Copies of this chain bind each other. A is one copy, B any other.
Amino acid sequence: MIKLIVLDVDGTLTDGNRLISTSAIKYIRKGIDKNVTFSLISGNVVPVMFALQTFIGINGPVFAENGGILLYKNQIKKFFDKTRAEKFLEYISKKSSVKPVFTNMWRETSIAFNMDDSDENYVSGEAEKNGLSIVNSRFTWHLMDKNQNKAYAVNYMKDQFELNYDEILVVGDSDNDVPMFNLNVNRACPANATATIKSKSDYVSKHRYGNEMEDVLNHYGIL
């Protein structure tokens, strides 16, 4: 039986312009009424996750910065540090097209940036040499500790809530969701997911951009 549902945000609850699906909000609320715990894990920042938690009414922990920092019951818990990422940003900005983005002022465990596609291999390699990793979340690139990812966050909740993997369902659509799709949990995705995510999914919905929530919750017998 599914006790915890972990949702990515951008592309999973929103469309390509980041507009949130009102259908997704409705069906998450229906799932919460069935006593399932919902969690969000996104590359976005804590106060944005606080807003989503508040206005949707998410009943479980929300994680920002790809799992690097948690917000639950108005308490923040930081699992990683951004000092190394900041130093690397200073270095790599001079050697590539890497440009930091607007929301970095609210980031505590990672750096977000944009860059030309052609720089991906170079920047990724340089980051790795520094114990860091980069990952793309549909709207931006993220630079962070090599162990910081959504699987870290899912495992944290598995321990905290004393769950088995088969009691957890993850839903996501893009590259930064891969680590949690590599766990032995239940995995579902919208029709707009990347080929990699689809290949790792137990259930691929025909619906997309948040409209898959009704379908996915029905498939797993939640509603």
Contact = CB atoms under 8 A, between A and B. Distances in A.
Interface string A17-61: 111101001100100000000000000110110111011110000
A207 B20 CA distance: 23
Contact of A57 (B17, B29, B51, B56): B17
Interface in A128-162: none
Interface string A102-129: 1100100000000000000000000000
Contacts of A56: 19-20
A97 interface: no
Contact of A51 (B17, B19, B52, B102): B52
Interface of A is mostly: helix
Point out which of A44, A45, A47, A48 has the most chain B C-beta atoms below 10 A from its C-beta. A47
Nearest to A71: B102
Contact of A48 (B19, B20, B47): B47
Interface residues of A, number: 24
Contacts of A74: 102
Interface in A68-115: 74, 102-103, 106
B102 A47 contact: no
A20 B14 CA distance: 16
Point out which of A20, A51, A52 has the most chain B C-beta atoms below 10 A from its C-beta. A51
Nearest to A74: B102
Contacts of A29: 19
A55 B22 contact: no
A16 to B, nearest CB: 12
A176 B197 CA distance: 46
Contacts of A57: 17-19
A79 to B, nearest CB: 18
- In the complex, the 5 A-B pairs of residues with the closest C-beta atoms, listed nearest first: A47-B47, A51-B51, A22-B22, A20-B55, A48-B51
Given A20-B55, A48-B54, 6 more contacts: A17-B57, A18-B54, A22-B22, A44-B51, A51-B52, A106-B106
Interface of A: 14, 17-20, 22, 25-26, 29, 44-45, 47-48, 50-52, 54-57, 74, 102-103, 106
